[in-house]
Amino acid sequence: MECGLPDFQSIDMRVGTVLTAEPFPEARKPSLRLTIDFGPELGVRRSSAQITVHYSPADLVGRQVVAAVNLGTRRIAGFESEVLVLGACPEPANVVLLAPDQRVPDGTRIS
Q: Is residue 20 part of a domain?
A: yes
Q: For residue 3, what are the contacts with CB-CB under 8 A and spacing of at least 6?
A: none
Q: Is residue 110 part of a domain?
A: no
**Domain hosting residue 51, numbered range:** 5-97
Which candidate, 40, 17, 15, 46, places its Cα nearest to that of 108? 15
Q: Is residue 59 part of a domain?
A: yes
Q: Which CATH number fits the domain that encloses residue 84?
A: 2.40.50.140
Report which residue type is found at 92.
P
Q: Is the pTM of this model over 0.95?
A: no
pLDDT tens-digit map of 69-81: 999 999 999 999 9
Q: Is residue 41 part of a domain?
A: yes
Q: Is residue 105 part of a domain?
A: no
Q: Is residue 35 part of a domain?
A: yes
Q: Is residue 21 part of a domain?
A: yes
**pLDDT score, position 6:** 66
Give 7's pLDDT tier (boundaries 50, 70, 90). confident
Q: Is residue 69 part of a domain?
A: yes
pLDDT tens-digit map of 23-50: 999 999 989 999 999 999 999 999 999 9
CA 7: distance to chain centroid? 19
Number of domains in the chain: 1
Q: Judge contact between 47 and 71, C-beta under 8 A.
A: no
